[in-house]
Amino acid sequence: MSISRDRLYRVSHAALIGANLLVFVALLATAIFIHLENGWAKPVFRASEEAFVHGTIGTELMPLAVAQVLPDLFPEDFQPGGPQAGDWIAQFGFQRTGEAADKGALPIGFAVSHYRPGSGAASPVPFVGFSCALCHTTRIRETADDPGRLLYGPGSVSLNLFAWLDAFQSAILAREPAAPGGAASREPPYRLTLTTISKAYAAKTGRELGIAERIMIWAWLREIRGRIQAGLPRFDAPFGDGRSRDPAVAPTGPTRTQPFRTLVRTVLDRPGNDMPVYTKIATVYSEDLRRRAQFDGTIADLYARSSLAALAAGATITNMALPEIAHNIRSASDFTSTLRPPRYRDMFVSAAAGLDPARLERGHAVYRQYCTACHGDREAVGGAWKNGPQTGEVVPFATIGTDPERVLFRHYDELAERMFELFPASHPFHFPREDIWPQPGEEQNVAIRGYVNAPLDGMFLRAPYLHNGSVLTLAELINLKKRRDVFYRGDNFYDPEDVGFRSPDEADTRNYFRFDTSVRGNSNRGHDYPWAYDDPARNTDDLAALLDYLKSL
Amino acid sequence: MRTKPPADITLPQFTLVFVIFGVLAIFALLWPETTQQDLALGRTRATIWVTSVMLIPAFVLFPYRTLSPGVANLAHLFWTFAYLLFLIHAYWAVFIIFGGVGNTFRQMGALIAGVNFLLVLWWGLDVILLWTMQATSPAAARFQIATRTFTFLVFAITLIVLRGGPVRTLGIALTVATVLAVVIRFWVRDRDAEYVPVA
């Protein structure tokens, strides 16, 4: 069939006009998209407590719709103790608000925003990240029947975040069972898909996912799966399948994190797998009393400390610069500056009523002799905390004798400089180089590394004790009682007599994590003040009196 | 030395340049959505990359503009649409990243910010004169050559010297292509001058 020259011209002419129109429409659509995008994330500038509890710190992890159904889709990952051990919130130690209206809602510390993970770009659908309250909120309960008291400030007694992250990654990478007779070279499809999420979401909420939700979930799934897979050669695969809470898999356990594993991966681009650095989640009362933060006192500036904590929890340099996220981090930090602990006498009324004033005075004398210089004391009038002359100083680990792994881990020498370089001068969380240790030239000086003398206000709420959470009670910390070599962690009940947490003799549904103090990084030795347990001078009456006085702080 | 202003632009000529411009602009504005980096910064970077890509044919064709009206039209179209991409870049850099002209000077420093703003104005003036004056005088030619030389130097130095990474490759490509085009043009012109046709 021949085509006339005129016809060819008309067709090509129409094609060229069509191409121009197509490009014009695409440009227009792009402009409209960007205009709409600007309205997706309206910054919210919260008051300080609100920022602490609900404000995102840049750790967006997944779309809200996914967070609502993921545990239902992967019970083998999110209910490792079996259905009888409770839902995923209970099994990983998250906290509920306790209000009836919140039944089925996400736990405290799951912040909802319209920022995408990593970039902080605006999203048309809500994403779930973390607020400060995720880690720094706990519920103190004495018995199973006790509804307990929810407190902002103390490190969570029960949260096993690293185990939950293992379960999360396992769910993202889970595949369908291999088909019988299928090609061995071909991997089965992933279980978590847009389709499975859509079906589960519709079944749970009675609502179909919208087009924007579908697009964002599809894009998120590609991105996060790609990122986890890209990291597998360096970081290794998650365990999942009910093993996430196993101490051999996630040795951090409840109440603790491995903050430097994340920072080493983020900042140095190294695996960070061979570092037994476990630190309990910090209690963040009265941060205004602390000249230096972190257990080793390496950071002076409160905002710098908070921004590095956010970075360790998954925030990025990019999204921490967003006005709302920067405000949340600063405002939540301000909240912890002036947040004061409740008093023992108000929380444990009957136990406090039984305290003998004479013994309290004797305990105070012991405290003044052995503790005040390093930790400070409450003023007699008004009860405000007053730091001691050595509060805020770093005691070398060789002197204090506690587990040294926290200050001897690989990369310790280079992290400070690299973290400083991470925040350019124009960044909201840029800090002076002198605010972070070790200073240039002192990187290799191991002798100056140690642990900082901290104020002890609200001491009864700072359990478990020592930086690695290896001592469950104050009675053991002051060597009134022998420190346990092995105990069990989970959602432990509070012990107002020994001041700290109770542990069963063997694992149970509630306390599943075997804490072995002989494991590297878990040592419970050191800080033998006033006396070591085997010191002949040890006076148990004085120690019992000291324990009573410590309750009053 | 005379200029060759745009004239009788054909639909294929316009389509070729406009489609390339559209694809590059859409890529620069949407590609950063797929990355983990700061979206505004990603758009700012991507728009300067695509401006550089668009400038390559503009620089390469410019020395040959007197050979035919078609070449001249394409050279001017690429030059003009490259400027539109550069304006998108400048908008994102000045108003989204730095938050205004004053802040741009404060954060970039007077020298770099000054050069960038001079480029916006000078290149813009050139484009306006190109399409409105239709001038063919030697003065107009000198002005066009000066504008392109300045633009070339700013892009080449920025991409090769001031920026590292993969974008340096783009800068090298732009420089090599432009220099080659100019050298070949002079070489061909010299040969033309030596060639005496036999009557």
On whether the CB atoms of residues A505 and A524 are closer than 8 A, the answer is no
* Span A368-388, average pLDDT: 96
Rounded distance between C-alpha atoms, residue A492 and residue A469, angstroms? 13
Select the residue of A13, A23, A34 nearest B18 (Cβ to Cβ): A23
Cβ contacts of A393 within 8 Å, gap of 6 or more: A297, A374, A452, A453
Query: Which residues of B are less than 8 Å from A321 in CB distance?
Result: 38
Rounded distance between C-alpha atoms, residue A404 and residue A407, angstroms? 6
Residue B42 inside a domain? The answer is yes
Residue B37 inside a domain? The answer is yes
Select the residue of A16, A30, A122 nearest B26 (Cβ to Cβ): A30
Per DSSP bridges, beta strands A110-115 and A122-130 are: antiparallel
Q: What confidence category does residue A140 fall into, taking pLDDT thresholds of 50, 70 and 90?
A: very high
Rounded distance between C-alpha atoms, residue A128 and residue A116, angstroms? 9
Rounded distance between C-alpha atoms, residue A215 and residue A65, angstroms? 12
Rounded distance between C-alpha atoms, residue B126 and residue B124, angstroms? 5
Select the residue of B12, B29, B37 nearest A34 (Cβ to Cβ): B29
Cβ contacts of A116 within 8 Å, gap of 6 or more: A60, A122, A123, A127, A216, A220
- This prediction has a pTM of 0.90
What are the structure tokens assigned to A326, written together? 């920067």
Residue B170 inside a domain? The answer is no
Size of interface A-B (CB pairs under 8 A): 52
pLDDT digits 0-9 by tens, A72-125 = 999 999 999 999 999 999 999 999 987 655 556 899 999 999 999 999 999 999
Residue B164 inside a domain? The answer is no
Query: Which residues of B are less than 8 Å from A34 in CB distance?
Result: 29
Rounded distance between C-alpha atoms, residue A424 and residue A199, angstroms? 45
Residue B67 inside a domain? The answer is yes
Select the residue of B15, B34, B107 nearest A16 (Cβ to Cβ): B15
Rounded distance between C-alpha atoms, residue A217 and residue A219, angstroms? 5
A426 touches chain B (CB under 8 A): yes
Query: Which residues of B are less than 8 Å from A219 in CB distance?
Result: 34
Beta-carbon neighbour count of residue A518 at 10 Å?
A: 9
Whether pLDDT at B166 is above 60:
yes
* Span B173-197, average pLDDT: 85
Quick one: pLDDT at residue A100? 52
B109 touches chain A (CB under 8 A): no
Residue found under tokens 């633009």:
B151
Q: Do A20 and B38 touch (CB under 8 A)?
A: no
Residue B148 inside a domain? The answer is yes
Q: What share of chain A is helix, strand, coil (3-state, %, to 5)?
A: 40, 10, 45
ipTM of the predicted structure? 0.93
On whether the CB atoms of residues A350 and A496 are closer than 8 A, the answer is no
**Domain around B44:** 11-155
On whether the CB atoms of residues A257 and A273 are closer than 8 A, the answer is no
Q: What confidence category does residue B6 fall into, taking pLDDT thresholds of 50, 70 and 90?
A: confident
B110 touches chain A (CB under 8 A): no
Quick one: pLDDT at residue B165? 80
Q: Do B38 and A19 touch (CB under 8 A)?
A: no
Handedness of CA B108, B110, B114, B117 (dihedral sign): positive
On whether the CB atoms of residues B155 and B55 are closer than 8 A, the answer is yes
On whether the CB atoms of residues A435 and A304 are closer than 8 A, the answer is yes
Query: Which residues of A are less than 8 Å from B19 in CB distance?
Result: 19-20, 23
CA-nearest residue to A227 within chain B is: B36
pLDDT digits 0-9 by tens, B113-131 = 999 999 999 999 999 999 9
Number of domains observed in the structure of chain B = 1
Rounded distance between C-alpha atoms, residue B142 and residue B129, angstroms? 13
Residue A343 in 3-state DSSP? coil
Residue B70 inside a domain? The answer is yes
Q: Do A119 and B29 touch (CB under 8 A)?
A: no
User: Between vectors from CA A352 to CA A351 and to CA A357, what angle results, nearest 5°?
Assistant: 130
